[in-house]
Amino acid sequence: MRTIKRKALPLNKSKLIDIQLLCKAYAAEKNHWLDALRGWKYQSLLGTPRKIRDEFIHHKYQSNYGLQARHWKLALQDAVETWDKNWKAHFVSIRPKIVSHFKKEAERHYAYWLLKGYSQFSEMMQGKVPKASFEIDEKSCKRIATYIQRQVKKGRPKQAVVKKARSIKFDESCYSVFEERGTQYIKIMSLEKGKRIVIPLKGKGPIEGNITLVIDDEDLFIHVTKEILPIDAFDEDIEAVDFGYSEVMTDTEGKRYGTQFGKILNKISDHRHKKMQKRHKLHAYEKKQFKKYLRKTNIKKYNLGNKKLNQVNKKGRISLEKEINTGINELLRNKKPCILITEDLSHSFSYDQVKSVNRKLSSWLRGKLQERVAFKALAEGFRHEQVNPAYGSQTCTCCDFVDSKNRNKDKFKCLHCGHEDLSDRVAAMNYARRFGDQKIGLHMPPSQVKTILLDRFHRRLETRKLVTVPDWTLETVEDICPQMSFEIAKLSQPGEMISQTGRSIRERNKINTFLGTV
């Protein structure tokens, strides 16, 4: 599923007040259901929320906060989903403990079964021993249930609370969409029966299914969920990219995507730095005035507010995200990869630069880069693979020599063979070579990666000619890749490299595998 945000045009005060009142009523109703679902009677029905709803309909339930019938049912369903997510997240943390604690397969099976359904789970939490459909000893069942119950109580999810009323859910019966004079409108249900609030929207697009109205400061957004359909990917097309600071990414041919990324990042970082310096001076002046006159000033109220600052930061973040999307979309249009190989950005970074450079690098949206590539992989139908990035831009693609002095900012020059290239392109080509490398794991420490790379470099220096290997002949090598024997013969000579796209990447990996056996 993907979420499409539709921004609303500015509304008059009366409509905005009506929507805010509706938000508060919906939040209060959801809090009521979150509290009501705390008991084990309703916890056992979390997997079947319609049964909970039907029970309250039977007792002719009416909202205490003025919501119409359809809306309190949506608030109930929202509360059930919240409890369900909290419990499932807790179950995920318990499952690894089951593996280490129980050695027998039958005991583990029963422990997993207790966490599978809410009916047996709630029965266990009330001190009973649920009976499974498969055979297992009763004494073992009691012991396993006691252990699981103890683990659940250690980190039981806290009571969820809606702290800020900023969103409301609607289903198809709660709204209608129409167009008038080139503008698209949506009419949503209000607190008053028979009255709907008309909201003009920016742009045009299909709106169907369940939607969510979100209030962000004074801006209104309609979140529309859309199912992502699988797309047939192109065969044999493999591409690797290196994420950068001055641009979004660089591919194996040295082409840069999202080239305005660094300029926008520098502009935002410098503006934020100057702004915060001025604000810190005002904070210090306010404290000085307070100590001098022992009374509060209006500086904090009129000069140190967060509303305008948050709006500026939000605009900057949106412009950066737009540049990221533009770069990724351009890459997909040009390359149409079946597999896209990128570096893993989940590890911690230490920049070790001067203060001004560290400040700019810390603003780098590495989490957003990974999230957008993962989403595009799902939406466009290609595979997204990540590799270990250690020494990617410091390893020569011709002779495999590794040294930090090989790279000087955006330029790469190998100290061993003299090969020159763009450092980002070198990194992308090395990531392509590491795809499928069984020795260099994704989360392997950089020191171990360097040891492996240096070992391979020394082996290549020692290899001057083909060594006989079982089931390998020169004809076999030439069948895999016509240029393979030529490349192996010239391993000690710089200047030649294999293309890092498509079939050639797998060919180069086979060369590496062959040489690793030598």
Do 367 and 397 reside in the same domain of the chain? no
Smallest CA-to-CA distance from 438 within 366, 382, 510, 383 is with: 510
Give the domain range for residue 421: 388-516
Do 253 and 276 reside in the same domain of the chain? yes
Give per-residue pLDDT as tens, 150-171.
998 887 778 888 988 899 999 9
Residue 44 has pLDDT above 60, yes or no: yes
Please check whether residue 342 is in contact with residue 431, taking contact to mean a CB–CB distance below 8 angstroms. Answer: yes
159 in any annotated domain: no
Do 68 and 134 reside in the same domain of the chain? yes
Do 354 and 294 reside in the same domain of the chain? yes
Range with lowest mean pLDDT among 132-146, 188-202, 361-375: 361-375
The residue among 92 and 379 whose pLDDT is bigger is: 92
The residue among 133 and 468 whose pLDDT is bigger is: 133
Do 423 and 322 reside in the same domain of the chain? no
Q: End of a domain among 345, 366, 384? A: 384
Do 244 and 344 reside in the same domain of the chain? yes
Total domains in the chain come to 4
> Could you give the 3-state DSSP secondary structure of residue 390?
coil
Q: What b/e readout covers 272-300, taking b as 16+ CB neighbours within 10 angstroms?
A: beeeeeeeeeeeeebeeeeeeeeeeeeee
Q: What is the mean pLDDT of the chain?
A: 83
pLDDT at 491: 40
Do 392 and 491 reside in the same domain of the chain? yes
18 in any annotated domain: no
375 in any annotated domain: yes
The pLDDT of 371-391, averaged and rounded, is 88
Smallest CA-to-CA distance from 398 within 312, 445, 457, 355 is with: 457
Q: What is d(CA 419, CA 415) in angstroms, rounded to the nearest whole number?
A: 8
Do 255 and 370 reside in the same domain of the chain? yes
pLDDT at 314: 87
Q: Can you give 287-302 as a three-state secondary structure string?
A: HHHHHHHCCCCCHHHH
474 in any annotated domain: yes
CA 224 distance to own-chain centroid: 19
Residue 438 has pLDDT above 80, yes or no: yes
Do 177 and 127 reside in the same domain of the chain? no
pLDDT-above-70 percentage for the chain:
86
371 in any annotated domain: yes
pLDDT at 232: 54
Q: End of a domain among 201, 226, 251? A: 226
Q: End of a domain among 351, 384, 417? A: 384
22 in any annotated domain: no
pLDDT at 231: 54
Please check whether residue 114 is in contact with residue 121, taking contact to mean a CB–CB distance below 8 angstroms. Answer: yes
399 in any annotated domain: yes
How many Cβ atoms sit within 10 Å of the Cβ of residue 164? 8
47 in any annotated domain: yes
Do 312 and 364 reside in the same domain of the chain? yes
pLDDT at 252: 92
The pLDDT of 431-450, averaged and rounded, is 90
Tokens of 169: 């859910």
Do 215 and 266 reside in the same domain of the chain? no
Do 323 and 427 reside in the same domain of the chain? no
Statement: the pTM of the whole predicted model exceeds 0.85: no
pLDDT band at 357 (very low <50, low <70, confident <90, very high): confident
Give per-residue pLDDT as tens, 246-281.
899 999 999 999 999 989 988 988 898 999 999 999
Q: What is d(CA 75, CA 73) in angstroms, rounded to the nearest whole number?
A: 5
